[in-house]
Structures are given as structure tokens and as C-alpha cells.
Amino acid sequence: DAGITQSPRHKVTETGTPVTLRCHQTENHRYMYWYRQDPGHGLRLIHYSYGVKDTDKGEVSDGYSVSRSKTEDFLLTLESATSSQTSVYFCATRVSGLPEQYFGPGTRLTVT
């Protein structure tokens, strides 16, 4: 258990508004990831980070940006939310040198 929390846990927002989701970890894991989970698609990687201020795009990064100013926090921003971004978002962390990822409890985002 990597002590991962996500906030908010649930959010409803309107199309076109900016939204920021937060992931916080207490284990000092180097790597952090943002995924979205949708029926029929499974978990898909949005962005990941391999250190403070070091981030890169994943499979479905369009419309999303991330920032990591501290080891423990990884923020996911939807600059202008669209209905296609309605999903459940999961944060995960990983220790350097090991393959296992540990997941947070998720944020359910609804864009109306």
C-alpha cells in the first residue's frame, strides 16, 4: 500500500470548464501515473512522471496536462472539459527498479 489518495473522489462539471485532479502519495515513489478507465477500453495511460518536473505523454494524452512540482503530488488538468472526458481516473505509483504499480481509489468525473 503506497498511501495514495486522490481528490476529489467525485466531481460533476460542465463542458468547457477547467478541472484539476490531485494525486498525493506518502511513500516517496519516484514514478507516478494517471490512467482513465472506461467500459470496453480498460485502463489507458494518460500521462506519467519519472521525477519532479519530469513528465511524458501516454496513450490518450490529448486534452490533458500534468504537473509534478513535488515528489508526493501529481496533478492532472483538463484545460477545457468535454463530455468524452467523463470517466474514472486513477493515479498509480511505482518504485524505481520494480514493475509493480500501486493504485489510488480513483476519481469519478462527470462532464455534463
CA angle 51, 8, 69 (to 5 degrees): 20
The three cell numbers of residue 100 are 509493480
- With respect to other proteins, which residue has the nearer C-beta, 9 or 70? 9
- With respect to other proteins, which residue has the nearer C-beta, 6 or 85? 6
> By the criterion CB under 8 A, which residues form the site for other proteins?
4, 31, 33, 40-45, 48-51, 54, 56, 58-59, 90, 92, 94, 99-106
- With respect to other proteins, which residue has the nearer C-beta, 16 or 51? 51
Closest CA to 21 of 64, 75, 62, 57: 75
